[in-house]
């Protein structure tokens, strides 16, 4: 590493003195980003956030308005907000952190009052969809980790809305890893409205003085004989299922080397055939594919994680197979003799994967050599993270922590955002010196003092590999060690990642060479579609129930340029005219509403029919008659009742996008014909006394509406039903011994809910 230039600091009215080091490359990149919507690609640890800050203060100082700083996770949002508050001269409460924990009403108030909003994209997307906020006065949006801006990720929607609404629009996208191909990078630019791309690498002259050396070492280990035998049994079982799958017409040409990705693609093909034809052969194929996925995962665990990990997985499979809702695939698999042999062998093997022994030696040597080192170990699975942490805590001077995401997995409770932040601070302070982390620690977290990063296994993603490596070498030289098990998918994943990184580098080179073409193509697009930079007329008005705000239907209606007005509607989901109200049901919603008294389908339709002259029901999704929850005859009976008893037309769509197109078509037809304004006017009918009585009785045990009516007719009142002895209850039609006993148990048993 060259000697860095003498330290000087940024001087700006909104930045506190001696807070931000003046680096030439950061100043140069920020100057470019002040003039054009820009994507900046910069290696991890070189201050992308500082560049964002320089653009941010320039826009606030010269343009006024608001700045929106978006980051994918809550810990990152808190981290960015803390940094901004610590270096700017503006009041701390002028920086608003918008996350899902804050009530919408408070978010709207804070949005109006703040000049800097730091937020997760999902929260901003929800508030935009619900028309609680708009982006008219936003003078800059910063998209952190902007490589995520593709598909249905919230960045895409926000980027499109900003292109439509922003009066003084400027976009800054920042990332260390934009993707492995040119098309993906171009997609990000198009989705965010980016006009210029600036790329810096570690070997660029203006970057070199600030780069710390990173040593990369690959440590290869062999699989012990006992573990190879366990793997062999599972591979035999895998090939047996591959042959059976071939017998029903679905072929896997890679045999035991078939990957999880290939199996998931096969599963999608089988599901597509099932939608076309309910044939026994396809059901059998689907079940076999499910078994193959479970076996494949077990093989992967044996190869790369060890016996302890696969032992835990087998135990979860056995528990799952013995549960009430177990699939045929699970039950059949645990009865398979080869699977039983594998389970027994896993329980007998009294050794761990050699990776664990090697890892323990590496950590011990590192801390003996340098006691103040910070070490981060990345592993793909939570079970492995706990196994590694448990092994390391037995070593003198090793203080390990497990760092995982917020979601809970069965008995394994996730870490709250508050706990994550606390653990990071304690890691930095030295309370812990080893962090064993899953992917949650890969992206963006500020962990400047990691001297050694260990990959417990390679990952087949160039983005994740770059982000993992970026956890070291930020303030001083760092080391990276990658553990690879020979002749396993570890080796394949390592080479896949390297190949993708080379592709990404070539893609960035191509963008740098052809940047003018990218700008020209965007300018041409704006010329052809001037509305892309101006507010479009929204003529089609649709009232939407607030509970629909996050649905794909709403996003698709937005794209169709409908004027959506969100309200708490007691009846229906979408109102398109004075006479037409639409109730949307996904297949699962429809099935659930047939036997859930609180979401009673026929009560909803009765209200719809009473309040609107032309009610419509839309059923969205496939597999209406294939659900396991209720018999096909019940579904058909319900559909007939909707048509014959309620005279409500039922329309069918495959997905939210198709539903949106259908709603828009109905709305246009209605509104073109009437040329009049309208608003929702319906109220949900309250239950009459008889319905309330039936509801109370039907909530006991497994009593349905018919049995509830029988009981009330026989006993005459709710009180008499409650007080009736078992001998009297069984005299009522449809009430047997078991039901009567259950009723008495529910009514008489002491309440064990405790206080408060």
The pLDDT assigned to 337 comes to: 92
pLDDT over threshold 60, residue 491: yes
Which residues, 6 or more positions from 172, have their beta carbon under 8 angstroms from its beta carbon?
A: 33, 37, 38, 40, 51, 52, 55, 140, 141, 142, 143
Report the distance separating Cα 691 and Cα 687, nearest Å: 6
Question: Among residues of the chain, what percentage have pLDDT more than 70?
Answer: 85
250 or 600, higher pLDDT: 250
Tell me the average pLDDT of the chain.
83
Domains 24-210 and 214-221+354-487 share a fold: yes
Residue 660, Cβ neighbours under 10 Å: how many? 24
Report the distance separating Cα 468 and Cα 449, nearest Å: 14
The pLDDT assigned to 232 comes to: 92
Report the distance separating Cα 454 and Cα 385, nearest Å: 12
Q: How many CA atoms lie within 13 A of 389 on its CB side?
A: 19
The pLDDT assigned to 462 comes to: 58
Report the distance separating Cα 603 and Cα 687, nearest Å: 9
| Domain 214-221+354-487 belongs in CATH node 3.50.50.60 | no
Domain boundaries, the chain: 24-210, 214-221+354-487, 225-348, 541-674, 689-748
The pLDDT assigned to 703 comes to: 76
Report the distance separating Cα 191 and Cα 632, nearest Å: 43
Q: Tell me, what DSSP letter sits at residue 366?
A: H
207 or 406, higher pLDDT: 207
- β-bridge pairing 196-199 and 38-41: parallel
The pLDDT assigned to 117 comes to: 97
The three state secondary structure string of 714-735 is: HHCCHHHHHHCCHHHHCCCCCC
Which residue in 150, 154, 147 sits closest to 125, CA to CA? 154
Lowest mean pLDDT among 97-101, 193-197, 523-527, 627-631: 523-527
pLDDT in tens, 321-341: 888 777 888 888 989 999 999
> Architecture of 225-348 per CATH?
Up-down Bundle (1.20)
Residue 730, Cβ neighbours under 10 Å: how many? 15
pLDDT in tens, 253-285: 888 888 888 898 898 888 888 777 778 888 899
Sheet bearing 541-545, strands edge to edge: 563-567, 541-545, 574-575, 580-586, 614-620, 650-653
350 or 36, higher pLDDT: 36
CATH of domain 689-748: 1.10.150.20
> Architecture of 541-674 per CATH?
3-Layer(aba) Sandwich (3.40)
3-class DSSP assignment, residue 415: coil
Looking at 3.60.15.10, 3.40.50.300, 3.40.47.10, 3.30.200.20, the CATH number of the domain 24-210 comes to 3.40.50.300
Please state, in angstroms and as integers, the Cα–Cα distance from residue 331 to each residue in 293, 295, 339, 668, following that order: 14, 13, 11, 52
Range 210-234 average pLDDT: 84
Range 6-13 average pLDDT: 85
The pLDDT assigned to 530 comes to: 45
Report the distance separating Cα 67 and Cα 118, nearest Å: 8
Q: Tell me, what DSSP letter sits at residue 686?
A: P
Q: How many CA atoms lie within 13 A of 127 on its CB side?
A: 24
pLDDT over threshold 60, residue 599: yes
Report the distance separating Cα 120 and Cα 114, nearest Å: 16
């Amino acid at each position: 590493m060259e000697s860095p230039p003498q330290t000087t600091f940024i001087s700006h009215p909104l930045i506190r003195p001696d807070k931000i080091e003046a680096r030439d490359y950061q100043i140069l990149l920020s100057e470019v980003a002040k003039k054009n919507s820009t994507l900046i690609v910069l290696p991890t640890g070189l201050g992308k956030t500082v560049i964002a800050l320089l653009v941010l203060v320039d826009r606030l100082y010269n343009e006024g308005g608001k700045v929106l700083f978006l980051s994918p996770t809550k810990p990152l949002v808190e981290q960015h907000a803390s940094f901004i508050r610590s270096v700017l001269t503006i009041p701390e409460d002028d920086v608003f952190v918008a996350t899902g924990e804050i009530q919408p009403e408070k978010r709207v108030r804070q949005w109006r009052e703040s000049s800097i909003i730091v937020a997760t994209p999902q929260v901003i997307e929800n508030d935009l969809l619900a028309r609680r906020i708009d982006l008219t006065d936003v003078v800059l949006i910063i998209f952190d980790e902007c490589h995520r801006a593709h598909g249905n990720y919230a960045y895409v929607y926000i980027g499109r809305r900003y292109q439509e609404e922003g009066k003084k629009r400027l976009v800054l996208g920042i990332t260390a890893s934009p993707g492995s191909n040119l098309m993906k990078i171009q997609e990000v630019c198009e989705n965010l409205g980016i006009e210029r791309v600036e790329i810096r690498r570690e070997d660029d002259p203006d970057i070199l003085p600030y780069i710390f050396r990173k040593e990369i070492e690959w440590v290869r280990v062999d699989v012990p004989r006992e573990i190879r035998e366990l793997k062999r049994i599972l591979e035999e079982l895998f090939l047996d299922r591959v042959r059976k799958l071939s017998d029903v017409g679905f072929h896997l040409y890679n045999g035991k080397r078939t990957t999880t990705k290939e199996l998931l693609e096969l599963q999608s093909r089988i599901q597509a055939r099932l939608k076309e034809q309910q044939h026994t052969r396809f059901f059998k194929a689907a079940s076999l594919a499910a078994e193959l996925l479970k076996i494949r995962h077990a093989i992967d665990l044996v190869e790369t994680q060890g016996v302890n990990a696969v032992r835990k997985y087998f135990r979860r499979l056995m528990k799952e197979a013995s549960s009430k809702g177990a699939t045929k695939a699970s039950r059949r698999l645990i009865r398979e003799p080869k699977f039983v042999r594998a389970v027994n062998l896993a329980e007998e093997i009294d050794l761990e994967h050699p990776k664990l022994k090697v890892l323990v030696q590496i950590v011990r040597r590192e801390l003996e050599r340098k006691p103040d080192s910070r070490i981060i170990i990345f592993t793909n699975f939570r079970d492995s993270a706990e196994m590694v942490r448990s092994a390391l805590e037995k070593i003198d001077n090793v203080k390990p922590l497990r760092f995982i995401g917020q979601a809970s997995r069965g008995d394994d409770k996730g870490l709250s955002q508050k706990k994550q932040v606390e653990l990071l601070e304690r890691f930095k302070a030295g309370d812990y010196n080893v962090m064993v982390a899953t992917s949650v620690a890969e992206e963006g977290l500020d962990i400047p003092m990691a001297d050694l990063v260990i990959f417990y296994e390679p990952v087949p993603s160039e983005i994740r590999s770059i982000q993992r490596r970026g956890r070291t070498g930020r303030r001083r030289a760092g080391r990276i060690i990658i553990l690879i098990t020979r002749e396993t998918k570890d080796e394949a994943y390592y080479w896949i990642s390297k190949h993708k990184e080379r592709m990404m580098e070539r893609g960035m080179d191509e963008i740098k060479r052809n940047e003018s073409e990218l700008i020209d193509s965007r300018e041409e697009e704006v010329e052809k579609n001037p509305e892309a930079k101006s507010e479009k007329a929204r003529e089609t008005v649709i009232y939407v129930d607030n509970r629909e705000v996050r649905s794909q239907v709403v996003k698709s209606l937005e794209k169709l340029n409908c004027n959506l007005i969100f309200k708490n509607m007691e009846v229906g989901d979408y109102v398109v005219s004075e006479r037409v109200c639409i109730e949307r049901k996904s297949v699962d919603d429809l099935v659930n509403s047939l036997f859930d008294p609180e979401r009673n389908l026929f009560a909803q339709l009765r209200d719809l029919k009473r309040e609107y002259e032309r009610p419509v029901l839309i059923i969205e999704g496939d597999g209406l008659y294939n659900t396991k929850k209720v018999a096909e005859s019940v579904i058909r009976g319900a559909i007939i009742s909707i048509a014959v008893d309620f005279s409500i037309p039922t329309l069918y769509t495959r997905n939210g996008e198709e539903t949106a197109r259908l709603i828009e078509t109905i709305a246009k037809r209605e509104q073109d014909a009437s040329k009049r304004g309208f608003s929702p006017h319906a109220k949900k009918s309250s239950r009459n006394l008889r319905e309330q009585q039936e509801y109370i009785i039907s909530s006991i045990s497994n009593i349905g509406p018919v049995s509830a009516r029988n009981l009330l007719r026989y006993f005459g009142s709710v009180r008499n039903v409650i007080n009736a002895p078992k001998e009297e209850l069984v005299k009522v039609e449809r009430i047997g011994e078991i039901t009567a006993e259950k009723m008495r148990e529910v009514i008489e048993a002491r309440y064990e809910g405790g206080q408060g």
